[in-house]
Structure 1
Amino acid sequence: MQEQTTTAPNRGMVYGAHLRSTAVVAVQLIAVAAALWLLAWVVGKTWVILLPVALALIVCTVLWPPVRWLRGKGIPPAAAVLLTLLVAVGVLSGLVAAVAPAIVEQSTELAQQATAGVVKVRDWLGGPPLNISEAQLNSAVAAITERLNSSSAQIASGVFTGVGAATSALVTVFTAVVVTFFLLKDGPRFIPWLRHAVGNPAAPHVAEVLERVWSTLGGFIRTQALVSLVDAVLIGAGLVILGVPLAYALAIITFIGGFVPIVGAFVAGGLAVLIALVSNGPVEALIVLAIILAVQQLEGNVLQPWLQAKSMKLHAVIVLLAVTLGASTFGVIGAFLAVPVAAAAAVLIRYYDEQVGARAGENPPPEQPQQPEQAEDDEVSRTSAPSGP
């Protein structure tokens, strides 16, 4: 019997094995990063299509319960969806109709008060403690005017860009409404069709993930609506108590702005403070600012993280980072879509973790929902199978 000798590994061999493992991991990371970059490039190129679809999905989570109720009453799907869309458009039109007359009625008075407010600010700058002379004020105004005149080309191009953006927004809204109609009308057929198209073994996993994402999106909309309603009620009550003009209109604007994280609250709050300044003076403007900051602190530190953590199971830091990334990448729309996208990604990651744990023997796999046609096939198999002795 020949004696076998084993050579103990030296440092060079260990370093080489570690280097080879590191190289494999590095190549894998580079491949994943390249795939993510390609995915981001595709999303950017198809954004004009993906945006209406994403908005339509979010709207569908709100409108599906009444559509389902109407369909349960025997109303045809198309008629149920059309009736629900008409009611939704009517509610939005009613909100606009409630806000517009007050704005038009008080716009002249607010313009006069704004002019008076500018004069007050100028007098304050010229008095103690700043004591800015009239010549310095005129010089500052002249510098601003010269800057605006020199930037006229940029301003003009910005106007045309704004017109193009408004046109694109109208097209996006129209497309989103059409997609919403067909998703609500034919949505229940989507999961069975997808299961048939994808096929086993991926079909049950895809269906389960989509159902979880749908439930999560519905929770996001309900949470955001509740948070926005609390903001609108508290801020609106403060404006009414202080006698600020357009208090009810500002409350409605605050509610709508709450659906756009960060930007919406900033714009609505700034508008309320500005109107309070030109109508009621600096003291009440500061009080309005304090009310808005207090409500925003309540929302940002208590309501939104707590409710979103319960409805979407997202940590407050994840919500903040998602909104920051979305706003820096896609602007206001990105800030609005950042949280639901992050929630959908979290659903996918959690489901993947469940499957990994099941394969590793750590936990049993979740039961897959059985589709009607699959249940029928199983029943046929049971009835046609030969009975035992």
Structure 2
Amino acid sequence: MTSDIPTPEESAPSSTPPHAENTGSFTEATDVFEAMSPHDDHARIDRSEVIAHGVKVLSTWCIRILIIAATAFATWYLLKQVWRGILPVILALIVCTVLWPPTIWMRRKGIPSGFAALISILASFGFFGFLIWIIAPDVGRQSQTLYFQAFEGIQKIQLWLQGPPLSLDSEELNDRINAAAGWFQSKSGTIAGEIFSGLGVATSVLVTLGVVLVLTFFFLKDGEKFLPWVRGIVGKRAGWHLTELLARSWITLCGFVRAQALVSLVDAVAIGGGLLLLGVPMALALAVLTFIAGFIPIVGAFVAGTLAVLVALVSLGLTKAVITLIIVLAVQQLEGNVLSPILQSRAMNLHPVVVLVSVTLGGSLFGIVGAFLAVPTAAMIAVLFRYLQDMTALRAGEKTADDIKFVTRAGSITGKFGEQKNQELIAAKLKSHYKQSSPPPRDAEPQPEDEHAVVLQSLKAKISDLTHLFHKP
């Protein structure tokens, strides 16, 4: 029979406070929650550290982009200040892309470089003179006929104005002609000023062409001597990079000129053929003008097309003029939106959209010259970025020197150097990873890497010895 009297142990007061039971249950719940958690606290990183690292990387890249943008703006501003001096150099380089093949061929045949350059320039003048000699007689024969046809066309316009629906009488028509003449007389001072301004511009153009001619001669004569001079200024290693980069840019520029010449030839053949089928006078002269004007963006095609339509209107009437206009517009739209972007993108390895956008931006910023130089400029920038990508891929180990097509011996040297840098980076990374993953034991002798590490280790050893002495019994 059990007694209801409590034992001493049961009747003794408990040493545990009443809230301890709750604390123990909370601790047990925490342990269960941590056991159920799939991640270890030691393997976690605080979210603030992750966000801070992301903001740090973003701010670093923003600063870099701002520096690049400021540099680009400063470069653009400087180019605008010295544009008149740079433009002849660029035009001379473009002319050299056409004259360089015959020049180098003559030099390989034993002709001195100066004579080869002079012969190439004179031959180009002779070619254009031959074209003028072919076209001039045709233009001379038919110009008088066009004059009489234009006079008859003006008389027809006067008769049409005097008839319905306008029904203008001769006196009213003469009054309007006299009013137009009076307006021209009142604006004669402004017109004369613009003419003299135009003469100044023409003089500047002639001076620029003369400078282009002289620069073309020296570029053809001593072109290959400029690269050693550049290497001597910037140093051997940077000179190797510049040699490869300039050689690639030269090949790209040659491709642009050939593509533009092919596009202009297609325009000339298509429009000239249409004019011949319609029987338009001076079809050959207009075709040659179309070919030459094809090298001048926007304005060249407009002037050549307008002249062809006017000649057709004066000589053949309104119907044939409308047909000529349709032919010119169709050919120009096909050339500007399809043929030119495709050929230039293939020659310079650019997407057609890049070609169209570059022409639009160049024309809006720098006018006709900007539209003409926009595509080769975009191609040069693309060459620079591709070269930087190749060098980055080499140092990252994504490519080898044999995977990249270099165009110069200097480029091959930079490729081998890039492979060497990749091996050095990999070795340094492996060494750092090995040191972090396997720290040396305490008893192992330290391997100092510099004098400061040696001094620190010796001081630590002396302090350790003194500590042992003081702790001895």
> What is the CA deviation profile of residues 42-79 of structure 1, one whole-angstrom value per residue up to 9, with x for unaligned ones?
11121122111111111111111111111111111111
Aligned to 1:378: none
Which of 142, 157, 166 pairs up with 1:132?
166
Q: Are 2:72 and 1:72 equivalent residues in the alignment?
A: no
Could you tell me whether the CA contact under 8 Å between 2:264 and 2:290 is conserved in 1?
Answer: yes
> What is the CA deviation profile of residues 287-340 of structure 1, one whole-angstrom value per residue up to 9, with x for unaligned ones?
111221222233234322221121111122221222222222332222222211
Which of 59, 62, 65 pairs up with 1:29?
65
Aligned to 1:166: 202
Q: What SS does the corresponding residue of 1:112 show, helix, strand or coil?
A: helix
Q: Are 2:342 and 1:306 equivalent residues in the alignment?
A: yes
Listed as ranges, the gaps of 5+ residues in structure 1 are 375-389
Query: Separation in 2 of the partners of 1:349 and 1:52?
Result: 26
Map 1:9-20 → 2, pairs under 5 A: 9=47
Letter in 2 for 1:168: S
* TM-score of the pair, normalised by structure 2: 0.70
Aligned to 2:251: 215
Which of 111, 124, 148 pairs up with 2:147?
111
Aligned to 1:237: 273
Moved more, 47-56 or 290-299: 290-299
RMSD between superposed Cα atoms in Å: 3.0
Letter in 2 for 1:356: T
Distance 1:144 1:326, change over 3 A: farther
Could you tell me whether the CA contact under 8 Å between 1:192 and 1:371 is conserved in 2?
Answer: no
Letter in 1 for 2:72: L
Distance 1:148 1:313, change over 3 A: farther
Query: Separation in 1 of the partners of 2:351 and 2:157?
Result: 44
Aligned to 1:63: 99
Distance 1:350 1:148, change over 3 A: farther
Letter in 2 for 1:338: A
Moved more, 362-371 or 275-284: 362-371
Q: What SS does the corresponding residue of 1:201 show, helix, strand or coil?
A: helix
Distance 1:120 1:29, change over 3 A: farther
Map 1:174-253 → 2, pairs under 5 A: 174-253=210-289
Letter in 1 for 2:67: A
Letter in 2 for 1:227: V
Aligned to 2:293: 257
Following superposition, the deviation at residue 270 of structure 1 comes to 0.9
Following superposition, the deviation at residue 24 of structure 1 comes to 4.4
Q: Are 2:137 and 1:86 equivalent residues in the alignment?
A: no
Q: What SS does the corresponding residue of 2:84 show, helix, strand or coil?
A: helix
* TM-score of the pair, normalised by structure 1: 0.84
Which of 353, 370, 380 pairs up with 2:389?
353
Query: Separation in 1 of the partners of 2:148 and 2:90?
Result: 43
Query: Separation in 2 of the partners of 1:51 and 1:306?
Result: 27
Q: Are 2:310 and 1:274 equivalent residues in the alignment?
A: yes
Following superposition, the deviation at residue 147 of structure 1 comes to 5.4
Distance 1:123 1:322, change over 3 A: farther
Moved more, 87-96 or 196-205: 196-205
Moved more, 290-299 or 359-368: 359-368
> What is the CA deviation profile of residues 245-284 of structure 1, one whole-angstrom value per residue up to 9, with x for unaligned ones?
1111101100101111222111111110011001110111
Aligned to 2:409: 370
Query: Separation in 2 of the partners of 1:8 and 1:68?
Result: 68
Query: Separation in 2 of the partners of 1:252 and 1:77?
Result: 32
Distance 1:88 1:20, change over 3 A: same
Distance 1:262 1:7, change over 3 A: closer
Q: What SS does the corresponding residue of 1:261 show, helix, strand or coil?
A: coil
Could you tell me whether the CA contact under 8 Å between 2:161 and 2:168 is conserved in 1?
Answer: no
Listed as ranges, the gaps of 5+ residues in structure 2 are 1-41, 414-473
Aligned length: 367
Which of 329, 334, 338 pairs up with 2:365?
329
Could you tell me whether the CA contact under 8 Å between 1:276 and 1:285 is conserved in 2?
Answer: yes
> What is the CA deviation profile of residues 321-375 of structure 1, one whole-angstrom value per residue up to 9, with x for unaligned ones?
2222222233222222221111111111111122223333333353653259x9x
Could you tell me whether the CA contact under 8 Å between 2:350 and 2:379 is conserved in 1?
Answer: yes
Q: Percent identity?
A: 49
Which of 45, 60, 65 pairs up with 2:81?
45
Could you tell me whether the CA contact under 8 Å between 2:275 and 2:324 is conserved in 1?
Answer: yes
